[in-house]
Structure 1
């Protein structure tokens, strides 16, 4: 009984650590006003690493004055917007994206996951976790641009914020703690 309790406790700590890392990985979902001044609408995003490097060099995000994150973490992005009706280039904080397409939310001045677009379901799926500045690797996210006719205010307000990961992590942690405390 004692050993199984220790094993259960270790498992709980491991699960909590993974969930904590996942939710804290999205901490940069906080507003970064400096990103707004770099926002440009573009006809298309880079299709490969060569195009991405060229566009990133031209955008020169390291020259942007900002206090949102470290200089190395304030990087070039080319993403869909929150309304799925445009692609945008922007210098913004690199964040972890969890199984969704990445978007730039201009109202929130933030790069975040697009809650409606699950890129794991595409013919060429994205991984469970990826960095937002690698969105060009998941080209199917861009094919949705212009195909959306309406996004409600409620949907748009849900899209901005810390994402679902933090809430899910808290709920799962509470459930697991309740289970293991009652052992």
Structure 2
């Protein structure tokens, strides 16, 4: 390996350590319904997660003891996550883990120094269990999302009923317009069957008239011939 390659590799490692980027944390992430609420629960969860064992082989931090168990918010603050990650000092914000950035992040959108009780302006990310108001925020966000989904699902049948009612009204109005138009004379319907019957009747009537005319002509001729016979 050349000196340049070694320099580049070392630079990447140093930048990763500085930013607390840790791809190895991703495989340890799991979603939970609640986080530890005291030191005893935290210790029990940390033993179950076995972050210490992973810390001995990880390359995210040079100090294996700073690769610790965390229970924090996800980036959107809608879920609670358990994971192993390098400890980051929070600047008065609720600890979050970004799976995109692969690290614990300080996000000013959740300033826990304004909560009651407030968190300090500086605390290690693995001690988030001391500041339960951050976890409550996640619960409120999840509840808000659930209410929105429920309202959305409930509104769907209402929308369908309204659309059907509008369609029915439009159809009824069109029928009324057509009937009025036909009655007034604006609209005419072509009835092929009726026209055919009318033409047949007219044809029969014409034939009858022609037949009557022929009979009259024959009778007239007979009358003339009879008159001639009498004269002779």
- Fold match by TM threshold 0.5: yes
Residue number among 14, 32, 44 corresponding to 1:42 in the alignment: 32
Whole-angstrom distance in 2 between the partners of 1:31 and 1:38: 14
SS of equivalent to 1:68: coil
Residue 28 of structure 1 deviates from its aligned partner by 4.5
Match of 1:56?
Answer: 46
Query: 1:30 aligned to 2:30?
Result: no
Query: 1:66 aligned to 2:58?
Result: yes
Residue 58 of structure 1 deviates from its aligned partner by 0.7
- Deviation per residue, 1:42-69 (Å, 9 max, x gap): 0100000000000001111121131011
Whole-angstrom distance in 2 between the partners of 1:135 and 1:114: 14
Q: Is the 8 A contact 1:98 1:128 kept in 2?
A: yes
Query: 1:111 aligned to 2:104?
Result: yes
TM-score under structure 2 length normalisation = 0.51
SS of equivalent to 2:60: coil
Q: Is the 8 A contact 2:20 2:103 kept in 1?
A: yes
Query: 1:95 aligned to 2:88?
Result: yes
Residue 146 of structure 1 deviates from its aligned partner by 4.6
Query: 1:133 aligned to 2:147?
Result: no
Match of 1:120?
Answer: 113
Match of 1:77?
Answer: 70
Q: Is the 8 A contact 1:85 1:146 kept in 2?
A: yes
Q: Is the 8 A contact 2:94 2:110 kept in 1?
A: yes
Whole-angstrom distance in 1 between the partners of 2:32 and 2:18: 24
Whole-angstrom distance in 2 between the partners of 1:37 and 1:80: 17
User: Which runs of no fewer than 5 residues in structure 2 stay unpaired?
Assistant: 1-16, 146-232
Whole-angstrom distance in 2 between the partners of 1:96 and 1:74: 13
Residue 88 of structure 1 deviates from its aligned partner by 0.3
User: Which runs of no fewer than 5 residues in structure 1 stay unpaired?
Assistant: 1-26, 151-183
Q: Which one has a bigger Cα radius of gyration? A: 2
SS of equivalent to 1:115: strand
Whole-angstrom distance in 2 between the partners of 1:145 and 1:44: 10
TM-score under structure 1 length normalisation = 0.64
Q: Once superposed, which parts of structure 1, at least 4 consecutive aligned residues long, lie more than 4 Å away?
A: none
Whole-angstrom distance in 1 between the partners of 2:84 and 2:18: 13
SS of equivalent to 2:72: strand
SS of equivalent to 2:97: strand
Q: Higher relative contact order by CA 8 Å / sep ≥ 6: 1 or 2?
A: 1
Whole-angstrom distance in 2 between the partners of 1:102 and 1:29: 15
